[in-house]
Structure 1
Amino acid sequence: MKRVVDFLFETNILKELPRSGYTFLGTGRESVAEHIFMTTMICFVISRMEPEVDREKLITMALVHDLPEARTGDLNYVQKQYVRPLEDKAMADMSKGLDFGDELKSLLDEFNESSSKEARLARDADQLSFMMELKKQHDIGALSPEKWLPFIENRLQTDTGRKIAGSIMASSWDDWWFANYSEPLPAGKNT
């Protein structure tokens, strides 16, 4: 049990680890754990849109896709031009002694290789999570996301991912709030 608890404490570090791309974007912030949560939620939704996929595999793949960053840190695309994270070694060391360690490594390998439909959908969810953050930043007035969004769209591998992306881009980040706000605003109030 001690080994499991150590693993949980280690993965808990992801709540404190910032995603490094926001430094280059110049706006916004997010922890790796926040990103993993949103990616996993997107995979849950996709698993209902694509009933033929292995739901557990898809959702679990999203949950583990950035676990090695607890040891390697989050490297963005610029940093990866100069530093190569030893993700395989990090995952091997991180999962050593866990009864489910081989499953973690296998899911991460499948994700990185895009070797299944579930992996391609999970990779799209990873990009869609970032797209949602960029779209929010754009909607609240940041200019740089406009340059970044086309790169994210070009990374999408599935029709489902592209459909979700189209809807994200056609929406405002706060549409859900105003669509569901049932009380009329008091006279003279704008928000």
Structure 2
Amino acid sequence: MPAERLAGLLDFMQAAERLKDTLRSGATRRGRPESTAEHSWRLALMVLVFERELAGIDVLKLLKLCIVHDLGEAISGDVPAPLQTADDNRVARERQDFETLCAPLPPDVARHLMDLWGEYSAAETPEARMAKGLDKLETMLQHQLMPLQNTSFYSFNLTYGTRQTDFQPLTRQIRKDVDAGTRAIMEGAVEPGFRYRAASKDD
């Protein structure tokens, strides 16, 4: 590998590390603010866990989409879902930030990552749509681990991302259980951090 190519790859890795310090509105079960890097890691883990259920999906492509989907936030940060609007220019800004982040990379690698980001953003392929759906579900699962929140917080979760999760049987099935868990927390039937198996009526 040419030294210049190696330097570009390493410089990108060092720049992408900023995602570890990019905080989201959610938190861990201990109440510590969650980073976007942690969200992306668990989203990728979710793909691995559900791999056998992903018939017709290119799992390697899906993993790549999940890894890059929020990388642009390493520069400008995350915008909480309740604050997002249709005209906030968020997607264009995030694309520009991702281009800036990819600048040190060799052109072929930068182009590959930008193509992945564009595919995720467009949400037209089965893999991109699945990534969008799982992204919403991972967020809602994390919200169930946070210390107890107010009713409006959980009410928002019940309508959050339905367009992305309703397109496919698997995401619909997961969504059904996740929504049931959210309602159970709202009603005081379970505490945040409950176990799904323990809460299941089938066991």
TM range (shorter): 0.7 to 0.9
Per the alignment, residue 88 of structure 1 pairs with 95
Per the alignment, residue 60 of structure 1 pairs with 64
Q: Secondary structure at the match of 1:67?
A: coil
| CA distance in structure 2 between the partners assigned to 1:78 and 1:176 by the alignment | 26
Q: Secondary structure at the match of 2:89?
A: coil
For residue 78 of structure 1, report the CA deviation from its aligned partner: 5.1
Letter in 2 for 1:122: A
TM-score by length of 2: 0.74
- What per-residue deviation string (whole Å, max 9, x for no partner) do you get for residues 81-100 of structure 1? 47534222222222233331
For residue 170 of structure 1, report the CA deviation from its aligned partner: 4.2
Identity of aligned residues (%): 23
- What per-residue deviation string (whole Å, max 9, x for no partner) do you get for residues 127-171 of structure 1? 01111012223xx53224321221225231322112112223445
> After the TM superposition, which of the residue ranges 56-65 and 83-92 deviates more from structure 2?
83-92
- Which of 11, 24, 30 lines up with 2:16 in the alignment? 11
Per the alignment, residue 156 of structure 2 pairs with 148
For residue 126 of structure 1, report the CA deviation from its aligned partner: 0.6
Q: How does 1:33-48 map to 2 (within 5 A)?
A: 33-48=37-52
Q: How does 1:116-155 map to 2 (within 5 A)?
A: 116-137=125-146, 140-144=147-151, 145-152=153-160, 154-155=162-163
| CA distance in structure 1 between the partners assigned to 2:7 and 2:41 by the alignment | 25
| CA distance in structure 2 between the partners assigned to 1:78 and 1:164 by the alignment | 22
Gaps of 5+ in 1: 180-191
For residue 80 of structure 1, report the CA deviation from its aligned partner: 3.9
For the aligned residue pairs, the C-alpha RMSD in angstroms reads 2.6
Letter in 1 for 2:18: I
- What per-residue deviation string (whole Å, max 9, x for no partner) do you get for residues 102-144 of structure 1? 111111111111111111110011101111012223xx53224
| CA distance in structure 2 between the partners assigned to 1:46 and 1:106 by the alignment | 25
Per the alignment, residue 182 of structure 1 pairs with none
Contact 1:18 1:32 in 2 (8 A): yes
Per the alignment, residue 174 of structure 1 pairs with 194
TM-score by length of 1: 0.78
